[in-house]
């Protein structure tokens, strides 16, 4: 059974993951406005991943006998200076989410809540991958211009998301 503190913190993570989806849809809309349809698609797929993350927390709380409470989401930024600005801010947001996952892990370890530790391990690995992919695209966007940026847009338009099977 989850402690009150851990239940509240995991519940807060449902909100942060949904907020991530909200933020990435705002970024997708900005990219569409720039006629960068591949980037816009990439952020839409990222929003799908974030909803999947949110539902993993949602289901885990329920599986552990806890009660999920849905919370209001803040309005994300809708305006950006450039594609590089979008990726600077999205990487910064992912770093915030990673810090949140570490915070949850610290609580679970202090409470010796092994089911939660096992559950969170997947997110530790996932955050490492997310920071890597956002950082990689940021570096490309900063370095590329003209034709190369056009090719990157085409490459990002092929992204797909299939929810992983997790035991």
17 burial level (CB within 10 Å; 0-12, 13-18, 19+): buried
Q: Examine residue 17 and tell whether it contacts ligand FEO (CB under 6 A).
A: yes
**Pair 19, 54: CB distance under 8 Å:** no
> Would residue 146 be called left, alpha or beta, if left means φ above 0 and alpha means ψ between -120 and 50 degrees?
left
The footprint of ligand FEO on this chain (CB under 6 A) covers a number of residues equal to: 7
Taking the complex as a whole, the smallest distance from the CB of residue 125 to ligand FEO amounts, in Å, to: 12
d(CA 85, CA 90): 8
Taking the complex as a whole, the smallest distance from the CB of residue 150 to ligand FEO amounts, in Å, to: 26
Q: Examine residue 120 and tell whether it contacts ligand FEO (CB under 6 A).
A: no
d(CA 151, CA 42): 14
Q: Write each residue from 23 to 52 as x if it is in contact with ligand FEO (CB under 6 A), else as -, in one continuous string.
A: ---------------------------x--
Q: Examine residue 15 and tell whether it contacts ligand FEO (CB under 6 A).
A: no
Residues in touch with ligand FEO (CB under 6 A): 17, 20, 50, 53, 94, 97, 130
């Amino acid at each position: 059974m989850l402690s009150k503190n851990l239940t509240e913190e995991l519940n807060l993570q449902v909100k942060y993951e949904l907020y991530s989806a909200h933020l990435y849809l705002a970024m997708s809309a900005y990219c569409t406005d720039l006629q960068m349809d591949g980037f816009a698609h990439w952020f839409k797929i990222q929003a799908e991943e974030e909803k999947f993350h949110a539902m993993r927390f949602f289901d885990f709380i329920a599986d552990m006998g806890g009660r999920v409470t849905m919370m209001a989401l803040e309005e994300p930024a809708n305006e950006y200076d450039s594609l590089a600005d979008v990726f600077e801010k999205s990487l910064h947001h992912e770093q915030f989410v990673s810090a949140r996952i570490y915070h949850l892990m610290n609580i679970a370890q202090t409470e010796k809540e092994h089911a939660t530790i096992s559950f969170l391990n997947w997110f530790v690995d996932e955050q490492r991958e997310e920071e890597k992919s956002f950082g990689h695209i940021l570096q490309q966007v900063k370095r590329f211009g003209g034709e190369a940026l056009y090719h990157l847009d085409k490459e990002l338009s092929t992204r797909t998301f299939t929810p992983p099977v997790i035991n």
